[in-house]
Amino acid sequence: MQLLNIHITLKTFPFIGLLLICCISIKANSQITQENNANKVLNLKTIKISVYTTVNHSNLKLSVADSLKLQEFKQPLETDASIDVDPSKEFQTFIGIGGAITDASAETFYKLSKNNQKKFLEAYYDQERGIGYSLARTSIHSCDFSSESYTYVAEGDKSLKTFSIEHDKKFRIPFIKKAIEAAGNKLILYVSPWSPPAFMKSNNSMLNGGKLLPEYFQSWANYYAKFIKSYEAEAIPIWGLTIQNEPLALQRWESCIYTAEEERDFLKNYLGPTLKNEGLADKKIIIWDHNRDLLFQRANVILNDPDASKYVWGTGFHWYEDWKDGIPMYDAVKYVREAYPDKNLIFTEGCNESYNLERIKNEDPKLAERYGKSMINDFNNGVVAWTDWNILLDETGGPNHVGNLCFAPVHSNSKTDELTFTNSYYYIGHFSKFIRPGAKRISSVSTSNSLLTTAFKNTDGSLAIVVMNTSDKNINYSVSLLSKSANLNALAHSIQTILISNK
């Protein structure tokens, strides 16, 4: 079989069908050293290039090709598909990619056999044997992906004297600890609330929206601090927090409504000062945590207020705005980056909704390509970190206490102990496995609407160039780099990572 105009060697990873890396050293002449002083680590006479590929409806899942030759640069024609990469043009610094460790994920994990628990952790968090997740999110008490609604205090306890995270010690805390260990103790964790306790809200319910009552502003701010300190007492470091998950969504599950002005004022008058007074000023505070459509409006209101903005690390967002017309609003991210270049952007949640097992069995390309399109566009628009929703769900798309069942990159069957790694898992892996914390995004520009691309330069000097073909046709294309070029072929509905590194 020919792939990328080169031969594919299939050698299977021990547990999830990933393929062993087989790289060919390629001699590059000394002209590379002279032409790109910005990449001194790579400016050697010998480098290696590996091309990893995942193809829909095939056994090629993060598969690697065994040779690729750089040639003298040839001017692409208007009729050619080409990608031009310039490592000297650097942009944002990359923090990490990961997924949410929810109650649902933790409960499902502990239904697996010990052997599959080990395989699962390696698959997500080990860079060599898996895809090297370096980021995680979890909830402050319950969310929809919990088996029940619960809080950490007794009803009506405004002073929080009864505060306890005992509930989380059964599944979620030990699961997070295992994930941290599997990631080499380098897993960044941030936290999000879905709702304050019912007694603090205008509708006296954790569900169905409602607002935080003014008399509980300080008590709720204290709640964040207690949660962070309680988790850190369990040896789980907390890197940051969002103020409220989806603050404009009136959901039938845990939810709470804040206008932009209400979120701004709660932050600057209560949450920001409280974290500072509690010795938690180093925690990264993320505003919005909702869809791209209103991203600019929310950032504009909060970040234009210096008393609020001083507490803000960055703005978080989700991808569900496409419910309006099926079209993601990627440019909204760019507009915030342009207006507030001193603040960060982080993708905080995305998943494919309305679980349907047949779509997994049939490898519906839309499931995985939603990830690829979002990640490429979001990174190109300035995002520094990207977080999937549940890292694991069961064979029903749950558990979920309100029946809001969804897809995850990995599903397990609680009856058969079977793990299913979907194409979404492999698509995410094309980024997380090869783009590592500390990397800088670099220019990577495509001349074809069907070929999407982004690229990063890692701290070791290696380059990771991601190319995704969203069309129904195979596409021949070239990649130009350092006055050299290479000819490749992207199969229909495929994603590739071209890794260029030292021998």
Q: What is the 3-state secondary structure (H, E, C) of 416-431?
A: CCEEEECHHHHHHHHH
Cβ partners under 8 Å of residue 207, min gap 6? 149, 195, 251, 252, 253, 254, 255, 402
Give the whole-angstrom CA distance, residue 247 versus residue 316: 12
HSE-CB for 422 with a 13 A CA cutoff: 31
Which candidate, 282, 286, 281, places its Cα nearest to that of 303?
Answer: 286
Pick from 354, 171, 148, 406: which is nearest to 253 by CA? 148
For residues 405 and 389, what is the distance between their CA atoms, to the nearest angstrom? 12
Which residue in the list 122, 246, 254, 369 is annotated as catalytic?
A: 246
Neighbours of 252 (CB within 10 A): 12
Q: Which residues contact 141 (CB under 8 A, 6 or more apart)?
A: 150, 151, 152, 167, 193, 194, 197
DSSP output for 36-82: -GGGTTT-SSEEEEEEEEEETTSS-SSEEBS----EE--PPPTTSEE
- Our answer to whether residue 246 is catalytic in this structure is yes
Q: Is the dihedral of CA 219, 220, 225, 228 positive or negative?
A: positive
**261 in active site:** no
If one counts every other C-beta atom within 10 angstroms of the C-beta of residue 86, the result is 16
Q: How far apart (Å, rounded) are the C-alpha atoms in residues 42 and 481?
A: 12
Give the residues across from 7 on adjacent strands.
Answer: 2
- Catalytically active residues are 246, 349
